Chains A and B, each alone.
Chain A
Amino acid sequence: MIKVFIADDEEPARERLKELLGDIAAELPTSVVGEARNGLETLERLPGSGAELLLLDIQMPGMGGLEVARHLGSLPEPPTVVFVTAHDRHAVDAFELNALDYLLKPVRAERLAAALKKASVPDRERLAKAAQSAREYISVSERNRIVLVPVREIIFLRAEQKYVTLRTRNREHLIEEPLVSLEREFAASFIRIHRNCLVARAAIRGFERGADGDDEPHWVVVLDGLEEKLPVSRRQWPALRELVAEK
């Protein structure tokens, strides 16, 4: 018996999937352990539901299916995922290209059965490539729960050995994503100030001369909302100086 969770913003679409699961039950027994009407609801409800498989609509309000799938990756035991979409040429192209499983609505019973049988946990890198835009949240797994940190609340991201520290005004979290890929994804809102550090453009209040006893003078970033000042590497300084001119 596969435990299935259904995420779709349209009630008739969820009903239809349940009907189809009923139709193929003799061949493939399933039980529906939860439902959600949007992305955030999915991330709230799925972790405690015991779901092994997620039927995930791509176009949902609040947070779309692609971003949901990326956050599920931070669970200790993420469910396998089958994406469902009505017609989204861009999504379908991206899926084909990155070998992600998907079903087209209206879904046929045979196709559903086949997809459930070969479903797999989606590959993080493939998901990242299929995504059409930067995430709005970064997920942090806490026990069997997904904590979402809104990207607009992040002040800086700093690589420390194996982890990246994610700093907001009130807290810090550790995430296991390489700084380079974060830099690529959030290029519009973050800027690199040092080999190991990205800062939110919006959080930069200004620059000061570093006041320690080093031989070489250097600059530090003064942040909005945090006392801590971050060193700027000499290599990044020219790009940052231009930013100062813009401000």
Chain B
Amino acid sequence: MEARLQALQARIRPHFLFNSLNAVLSLIRRDPKRAERALEDLADVFRTLMSEPRQFVRLADEISLLERYAGIEQLRLGERLRITWELDTAPIDALLPPLVLQPLLENAVFHGVEPGTGAGEVLVRIERRGDRVLARIENPYVADQQRRVGNRMALENIRERLALFFDAEARIDTSADGLRYRVEIEMPYRSEGA
């Protein structure tokens, strides 16, 4: 089971690591404080990615990973990346498998923002509805066949890990309407207290 989890755990793209290091290097002379923060973010992101596989994390941890990851991408992409966060009703004590949301945000940036020459709007919305947790990540839809392939693999990986943790009670769906690409996850609300 653990080996399986480890094998399934999403891995970050090397492209992201090297571009991020390069962005940090560009800051060291101009804005050393910001460079420090960026390296701290990068360290946190990689600590999470390289940690012993856990069965579950608190939503608060996954959200903080999202924010750190987004901070680094923001540095790299500047004005081109616009993220709207809708997290006011996110149940931060909910439990979920680790790295379920971060790869989706990474996909949104990789498939929806990087291939565009203009600014790309990304939406991250996490909310609780009764005994369910809903997460939605949206990005501009860019028809790009080569890039789409990697996307499906990440989705399959997340789907499998959700199934390992929640059995049939969780689902992950994608949709595209020509302008926007959307991934939605619905899972049971489980907390440590319960």
Q: Is the interface of B mostly helix, strand, loop or mixed?
A: helix
A77-98 contact mask (Cβ, 8 Å, vs B): 1 or 0: 0000000001110000000000
Contact A61 B19 (CB under 8 A): no
In this complex, the interface size class of chain A, counting residues with CB under 8 Å from chain B, is 20 to 34
A10: B residues at CB distance < 8 A: 19, 22-23, 76-78
Contact B117 A86 (CB under 8 A): no
B117: A residues at CB distance < 8 A: 9, 37-38, 40, 61-62
User: A169: CB under 8 A from chain B?
Assistant: no
B50-64 contact mask (Cβ, 8 Å, vs A): 1 or 0: 000000000000000
Contact B26 A86 (CB under 8 A): no
* CB interface residues, A 1-40, toward B, < 8 Å: 9-13, 15-16, 19, 37-38, 40
User: A104: CB under 8 A from chain B?
Assistant: yes
**What is the chain A residue whose CB lies nearest that of B77?**
A10
User: B27: CB under 8 A from chain A?
Assistant: yes
Chain A interface residues (CB < 8 Å from chain B): 9-13, 15-16, 19, 37-38, 40, 59, 61-62, 86-88, 104-107, 133
10 smallest CB-CB distances across A and B, nearest first, come from A12-B26, A16-B26, A12-B23, A86-B18, A87-B14, A106-B22, A105-B22, A15-B26, A86-B19, A87-B18
Known: A10-B22, A13-B26, A107-B22. 12 other contacts (CB 8 A): A9-B117, A11-B78, A12-B76, A16-B23, A40-B117, A86-B15, A86-B19, A87-B14, A87-B18, A104-B18, A105-B18, A105-B19
